[in-house]
Amino acid sequence: MSGIAADQARRAAELREQITYHDRRYYVLDDPEISDAEYDELLAELQQLESRHPELIVPDSPTQRVGGALASGFPEVRHQLPMLSLNNGFAEEDLRAFDRRVRERLEVQGEIDYMAEPKLDGLAISLLYRNGQLLRAATRGDGETGEEVTGNVRTVRSVPLSLSGSDWPQEFEVRGEVFMRRPDFLRLNERLLESGERGFMNPRNAAAGSLRQLDPAVTARRPLSFFAYGLGWTAEHVLPHTQSAVLDWFAGMGIPVCPERARVQGADGAFAYHQAMAERRARLPYDIDGVVFKVNSREAQQRMGFVARAPRWALAQKFPAEERTTLLLSVDFQVGRTGALTPVARLDPVLVGGVMVSNATLHNMAEIERKGIRIGDRVIVRRAGDVIPEVVGRAGGERMPETQTIELPSVCPECGSHVEQEEGKAVARCTGGLVCPAQRREALRHFVSRKALDIEGFGDRLIEQLVTSGAVNNPSELFRLNAERLEGFERIGPKSARNLEDALDRARETTLARFIHALGIREVGEVTARSLAEHFGGLEPLMHASEATLEAIRDVGPVVAKHIAHFFDEPHNREVIEALLAAGVHWPRPEANAAEKRPLAGRTYVLTGALSAMTREEAGARLQALGAKVAGSVSKQTSAVIAGENPGSKLSRAEALGVPILDEGGLRALLASE
């Protein structure tokens, strides 16, 4: 290297270090040392140096926060460890009951040491670091699989591209929340409105919308922030023993953590923290919707385990939802995908928690009766997080004389079919089935939705036209459309028509789990669809499964099993499935492929007896998540029997067949396999 080149390399390194330092002062510590203009000068000098000498560019240079645009969509990422959700508490008693459960499980008489921090209203993400460099960022998605948004997350200034120090595992995941500070949100909306674009409804939507931009250059102009709250998967390393120490350790690496975090003792300490935060909430520079409490000891967390997808050692204690009163102008009935009629309140518009609300759900007729609501009443409207606003009840005070009762229509407002209210059931349904355009429309909306077949471009307006014109009566008929036919519809030009045809072509290749979800079987959401796909591995065995077989599957109870069996008994549904397959909808066997790559792939375990750290169902689910099969009976093919307290006859059968037997320690070792 010549003398000049060496000087320039040294200067580039110096600039990188300085900019990274000032990024941290500004974005993480909120305590800048230099002015924006001085900062811009440093960045401009580095950009100039790098453009003259591209060989000086390193991946973690501050100039490389904006990567190239992604070609289309976001690739899926399977999280190394599922991203859990949190159990919620609302009343003081929920918090005290949580604390009681923790003490009972851990057999502790005294106060529990909890880590407390605000629950940010943002978007959960997982950052994967390898050798101290940010390798990948993914959204939470459904907890198992998220979207890869590395290019976008690299533009978030407070996310370090490389970590400080050297005390970190060779590879590990940092979990946290991407969010937008309120002042940044207000400035962004002003900027968008000035340039004639639509503003965002609230900081959460702005954060989510910005992170899901296909072009990282757009995300880079959005002022996003990040706080880490936990550790995901980690390679071998000595880890801190407590949650609070994990967060301090993150801070030492330059990863931002919430400055409001605190350790609190017992239920009283936790409740006091919750009250203090509720009081401070409006003055914080970001939106929070509650407080999260976690058992501080990581060893105790491990002993407690989790139920379904939420840890037993954590609680999100929510703040009360925002409520306002307004006038109930009228009530309409909306018909859903399964024919359920939902009464929707049309309200005198009112601002609730920063959002203008003019429609809210009244749930069902039984709720209306229970709350004694009439048209013309002043009602209380509540909005909490992202859920649909609801009418909570009648506001106090005298009732106006000219109010009217709310009547359930005897015929469907969309198709005129008879409306049926099953004895003892709250929900009234239109009996029109697929004759009803609303049910057809909702079934199609669900079929094309992002978590189902994800067919881009089929918005509500187009679906409405497809249904009312009779062009599409069921999901399989979507695949009969081509650009030529689509071009005839309102606002569909030649280019959009071609894009729609391409989207249909792409959607033909899907996964079994998405396909099952897209069918719209009652009570079968995304998670259950995935369990069914993993269990059956193919559509045929699922279509022929008995209710008893279905009930034995994770996430499937007797009611869901009945809905699934009824769905596949219905000849019309089988015809639609056949037509979809004939139209070329297909899937590889990713569930099997994914399982093959997992650490316990190809192994079969049988669980017997009571486990102390978790239920058998939970142990089974965790073994399955690592690729193992969990069987109900022991055979020579069984890899091992895991025996807890008071094991049944399965243990003696294992002994007779010479099948290995593991105790709970053995199970823990298996669950630690990565």
Summarize as ranges the residues that interact with ligand 5U1 (CB under 6 A).
84-86, 117, 119, 124, 175, 229-230, 292, 311, 314
Q: Which residues of 307-340 are buried (b: 16+ CB within 10 A; e: fewer)?
A: eebbbbbbbbbbbebbebbbbbeebebebbbbbb
Write out the two tokens for 648: 């049944």
> Which positions ≥6 away from 582 have C-beta within 8 Å?
476
Which residue, 117 or 287, is less far from ligand 5U1 as judged by CB?
117
User: How long is the chain?
Assistant: 674
Tell me if 262 sits within 8 A of 294, measured CB to CB.
Answer: no
Which residue, 85 or 133, is less far from ligand 5U1 as judged by CB?
85
The beta strands (E) that lie in 181-261 are given as 225-234
- The helix (H) or strand (E) run that includes residue 141 is none
Q: Taking Cα atoms as reference points, which of 247, 258, 254, 79 lies closest to residue 173?
A: 79
Which residue, 121 or 477, is less far from ligand 5U1 as judged by CB?
121
Minimum distance, C-beta of residue 246 to ligand 5U1, in the bound complex (Å): 10
Supply φ then ψ for residue 146, to 5 degrees.
Answer: -120, -170
Q: Taking Cα atoms as reference points, which of 505, 496, 543, 521 lies closest to residue 446?
A: 521
Intra-chain end-to-end CA distance of the chain, in Å: 44
Minimum distance, C-beta of residue 650 to ligand 5U1, in the bound complex (Å): 33
Minimum distance, C-beta of residue 29 to ligand 5U1, in the bound complex (Å): 19
Beta pairing, strands 306-307 & 310-311: antiparallel
Minimum distance, C-beta of residue 179 to ligand 5U1, in the bound complex (Å): 11
294 is catalytic: no
Minimum distance, C-beta of residue 94 to ligand 5U1, in the bound complex (Å): 17
Alpha helices (runs of H) in 488-589, residue ranges in sequence order: 494-507, 512-518, 526-536, 539-543, 547-551, 558-569, 571-582
Which residue, 50 or 147, is less far from ligand 5U1 as judged by CB?
147
Which residue, 314 or 478, is less far from ligand 5U1 as judged by CB?
314
Question: Which of the residues 119, 294, 318, 650 is marked catalytic?
Answer: 119
Minimum distance, C-beta of residue 244 to ligand 5U1, in the bound complex (Å): 12
Q: Taking Cα atoms as reference points, which of 517, 520, 530 lies closest to residue 451?
A: 517
568 vs 575: CA distance, rounded Å: 10
- Tell me how far CA of residue 231 lies from CA of 168, 236, 277, in angstroms: 12, 13, 24
Supply φ then ψ for residue 474, to 5 degrees.
Answer: -150, 165
Annotate 380-446 with DSSP letters as a single string: EEEE-TTSPPEEEEE-SSPPPTT-B-----SB-TTT-PBEEE-TT-S-EEETTGGGSHHHHHHHHHH
Minimum distance, C-beta of residue 112 to ligand 5U1, in the bound complex (Å): 17
352 vs 384: CA distance, rounded Å: 9
Which residue, 216 or 230, is less far from ligand 5U1 as judged by CB?
230
Minimum distance, C-beta of residue 258 to ligand 5U1, in the bound complex (Å): 7
Supply φ then ψ for residue 509, to 5 degrees.
Answer: -95, 110
Q: Which amino acid is at 584?
A: G
Which residue, 122 or 520, is less far from ligand 5U1 as judged by CB?
122
Minimum distance, C-beta of residue 119 to ligand 5U1, in the bound complex (Å): 5
Supply φ then ψ for residue 618, to 5 degrees.
Answer: -65, -45
Which residue, 230 or 432, is less far from ligand 5U1 as judged by CB?
230
Tell me if 607 sits within 8 A of 632, measured CB to CB.
Answer: no
Which residue, 125 or 504, is less far from ligand 5U1 as judged by CB?
125
Q: What's the chain's Rg over C-alpha atoms?
A: 28
Q: Taking Cα atoms as reference points, which of 356, 330, 358 lies closest to residue 343?
A: 330
> Which positions ≥6 away from 55 have C-beta within 8 Å?
none
Write out the two tokens for 29: 């510590």
Write out the two tokens for 674: 């990565």
Tell me if 444 sits within 8 A of 478, measured CB to CB.
Answer: yes
Which residue, 314 or 368, is less far from ligand 5U1 as judged by CB?
314
636 vs 659: CA distance, rounded Å: 7
Most distant CA pair in the chain: distance in Å?
92
306 vs 314: CA distance, rounded Å: 9
Catalytically active residues, by annotation: 119
